[in-house]
Amino acid sequence: MASPLDTVAERVGLAPASPLLVTALTHSSYAAEHDVESNERLEFLGDAVIDLAVADLVITRFPDLDEGTGSLVRSRVVNEASLANVARSLGLGDALRVGRGVLKEKGAQRPSLLADTFEAVVAAVYFERGFDVAKDFVQDCLAEGVAAASKEPGDVDPKTQLRQWAEARGLGTPSYEVRASGPSHDVTFFATVRVGEIQVVGEGSSKKSAEADAAALAWRGQNGA
C-alpha cells in the first residue's frame, strides 16, 4: 500500500525521496521539534508562482476579460479556501509533517496549513522541474476554479468587495490590524478592519481568513446583508 508521501509524490510529479518535496511537507512545528528546515521559504516562492500561473491562465484562455475583471477572477481562485481544497485533493494533509501539538489537534487539516503547504509544493516543483512544469501543474489544479469564476466575476472576495464599496463612497482603502491568541499549534487570529468611522473585528484560523471575516462583517453591516 502506497504511503501518503508516495501518493503525493506521484500526484505532483516528484520523487518521494526529493529533499525539496520533503521540506515542502514540513510544517514549522515539526521543524522546530526536529531541527530541520520548514516549508516557510518555499511557501513564499510558491505564492508568487501561483499568482503568475493563474494570471497567465486568465489572460490566455479568457482574452475577453479586462484587467480589472481578471484581477477579480484571480482573487476568487487564489485564496486560502480554494488552495486548501486543492491541497486536500492532492492528499497533502495526510503527508504533512507537523509537531506533536498540531498533530494532537488534527491541525494538519486546517485550511491555512493546507493552503500554505500547496504553495510550498508548487515551489518544490518549480525548483526541480522548472517554471513551465510548475505553471502547468498550477493551471491543471486551478483551471476549473478559474473557469467558474470567469462566468461570475462580480462575485468577489470579501476584502475586495469592502474595498470597492469604500472607495466608491470616498472612504479610502480599508486598513487591517491582526493579532493572534492561543498556543502555537492552535492559534486564533483576530483582525480589526477600519474604514471611515467603521470598525469591525473578525476571526479565523489564519491572518487571511480573519481579515476576510472582518471585511465580510463590515460590508454586511453597512448593506443590511
Which residues form the catalytic set? 47, 119
Q: How far apart are CA 220 and CA 118, in angstroms?
A: 31
Residue found by looking up cell 486598513 in the block = 175
Eight-class DSSP state of 197: T
What is the 3 state secondary structure string of 1-17? CCCHHHHHHHHHCCCCC
46 touches 123 (CB < 8 A):
yes
Residue found by looking up cell 504553495 in the block = 119
Sequence letter at residue 24: A
β-sheet bridge partners, residue 66: none
Q: In terms of Cα–Cα distance, which of 119, 120, 97, 122 is closest to 107?
A: 97
